[in-house]
């Protein structure tokens, strides 16, 4: 039997940079399923939170523990960056990279690549350099590349900032599909509309602290903290 990755626990997690605490302390359990939207103004610590969860950030205190052992846990997570990192290779090679480096047979990699290319509408561009794609196409490719290893949890850092409406719609459709297929999702955004469309759970981060955590419709309808309330009102939080 395969050990599931979730739930994950963040215990007393803090991140300090140059003497300044930018995150935490955070104590949190991420449950088995759900689409968590991480909200907060710029500089609230959203990226640091996601990176700390993913293991890209050196923790000053505390720990992040997954239900699966560490080596397995790393392989079952995927991360999509705010500005997509394109390898200087073809679209095909970009999509297949996460599988290819695991040593999977070429035919198997190629099948997965073709299937994902179809889903993101990049079949015609498969053999073109990925760096030549438009911003929306790049982000779709990055998302597909993150999903191709079939992760149990997908972390996204404002994947839709600076994208046109069409691309945002495509990406949201892909995310909804992944969520329905059982992928645990944690996504940072500062777009309230997007949060309302997608979230099953809300985390509100301000000055490195979690000020609000709860199921999505309730949090929007009845915010528990004054900070989240003014954020929902569109006030500038300082």
Partner 1 sequence: MNDIWAGLSSAFWLVVTGDPDLIEITLRSLQVSLTALVIASAIALPFGTWLAIRRFRFRRTAIAVLNSLMGLPPVVVGLIVYLLLSRSGPFGVLGLLFTPTAMIIAQVIIITPLIASITHQAMRDLWAEYHDLLISLNTTPTRRILTLISDGRRALLTAALAGFGRAIGEVGAIMIVGGNIDHATRVLTTSIALETGKGDFALALGLGFVLIALALTVNLIIHALSRTEREGRW
Four-residue CA torsion sign, 234, 194, 137, 47: positive
Residues written for the chain: 238
Select from 31, 32, 43, 56 the one that contacts partner 1 (CB under 8 A): 56
Select from 17, 106, 128, 197 the one that contacts partner 1 (CB under 8 A): 128
For 172, other C-beta atoms within 10 Å of its C-beta total 15
Asked if residue 101 binds partner 1 (CB under 8 A), the reply is: yes
- Compute the distance between CA of residue 90 and CA of residue 203 in angstroms, rounded to an integer: 37
Give SS3 for 27.
strand
Which of the ranges 1-9, 129-137, 189-197, 210-218 carries the binding residues for partner 1, by CB under 8 A? Answer: 129-137
Select from 35, 66, 79, 231 the one that contacts partner 1 (CB under 8 A): 79
52: closest CA among 106, 83, 11?
11
Asked if residue 88 binds partner 1 (CB under 8 A), the reply is: yes
Asked if residue 231 binds partner 1 (CB under 8 A), the reply is: no
DSSP 125: G
Select from 29, 61, 131, 134 the one that contacts partner 1 (CB under 8 A): 131
Chain residues binding partner 1 by CB under 8 A are: 54, 56, 74-75, 78-79, 81, 85, 87-90, 97-98, 101, 127-129, 131-132
């Amino acid at each position: 039997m395969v050990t599931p990755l979730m739930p994950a626990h963040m215990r007393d997690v803090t991140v300090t940079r140059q003497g300044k605490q930018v995150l935490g302390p955070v104590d949190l359990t991420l449950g088995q399923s759900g689409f968590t939207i991480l909200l907060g103004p710029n500089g609230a610590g959203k990226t640091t939170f996601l990176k700390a969860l993913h293991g890209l950030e050196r923790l000053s205190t505390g720990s992040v523990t997954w239900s699966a052992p560490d080596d397995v846990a790393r392989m079952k997570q995927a991360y999509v960056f705010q500005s997509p990192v394109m390898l200087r290779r073809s679209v095909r090679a970009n999509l297949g990279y996460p599988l290819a480096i695991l040593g999977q047979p070429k035919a198997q990699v190629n099948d997965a690549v073709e299937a994902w290319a179809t889903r993101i509408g990049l079949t015609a561009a498969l053999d073109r350099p990925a760096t030549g794609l438009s911003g929306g196409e790049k982000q779709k490719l990055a998302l597909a590349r993150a999903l191709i290893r079939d992760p149990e949890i997908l972390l996204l850092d404002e994947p839709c900032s600076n994208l046109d409406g069409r691309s945002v719609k495509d990406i949201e459709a892909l995310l909804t599909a992944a969520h329905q297929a059982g992928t645990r999702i944690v996504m940072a955004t500062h777009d309230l509309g997007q949060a309302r469309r997608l979230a099953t759970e809300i985390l509100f981060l301000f000055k490195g602290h979690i000020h609000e955590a709860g199921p999505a419709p309730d949090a929007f309808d009845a915010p528990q903290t004054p900070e989240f309330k003014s954020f929902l009102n569109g006030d500038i939080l300082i």
